[in-house]
Structure 1
Amino acid sequence: MLMTVWMIYPLAATGKISASVDWLFHSARVEQIYDNLRQGCKFTFIATTTFQHTGVGSFLFYPDGSLYIWALLRFIFSPVKAYYAWVGIFLFLTFVISYWCMLKFSNDKLRSFIFALLYGLAPYHLYLSPVNWVIG
């Protein structure tokens, strides 16, 4: 948990997101889910308030289960803080799941801890999420 906070807090403290690659597409998807939840609609199939009100049906083709967590965080936090909280949750889950998997495999707590750090901090993960904001 400490590692997650250590990695996410400096980014969240800026209050900014450097939009890149898939950011506009996926953030619009989350905003549409948030809008629908606010209006009492549990499921989103067509974007009616985002994507310039064009009725984009990307929800029919892209999985969006994990995006609901981000959208629910929007009820508590600003859009930027909700995003960073969402990234933090998934980073923490990455550490926990990788630790647990290695522990089941090796039955060695130190090895599992080191593996979780190496896997969670792998350059590929850091490149995709906190650097290029690739979500989907």
Structure 2
Amino acid sequence: MADTPDTLTIGAFAKAAEVNVETIRFYQRKGLLPEPDRPIGGIRRYGPADVDRVRFVKSAQRLGFNLDEVAQLLRLEDGTHCHEAADLAAARLKDVRLRLADLKRMESALSRLVTACSSSQDHVTCPLIASLHRRTAAD
């Protein structure tokens, strides 16, 4: 039987949504995805709307939204809550910018240490290892 609307098994659903079956079950437990009724003696069936919902969740996660935030976005998806969705996105953007600043600091520190290691031929102690020991003692 060909997969038509609302006739996808969980395996076919997972494949169509490009996730594994456990991801589907996890999203159901988290309330991100409704669990369809199981017909008597049958198996649960899923449709294109379910595939779209999982893709939405995965897209939001790729933008850095955690699952609680994704759940909020799903509650706002009727299009009348754009301001609230924008507030969530602004908070996520602020977090991304803070992470970028941290990554830039880490890049700079590592770059200096790599350079120090490369130019440190006379020393017995590796500048990178020594630096990490100093940081551990300071923490």
Q: TM-score range by the shorter chain?
A: under 0.3
Q: TM-score, normalised by structure 1?
A: 0.27
- Higher RCO (CA < 8 A, seq sep 6+): 1
Q: TM-score, normalised by structure 2?
A: 0.26
Structure with larger Rg: 2
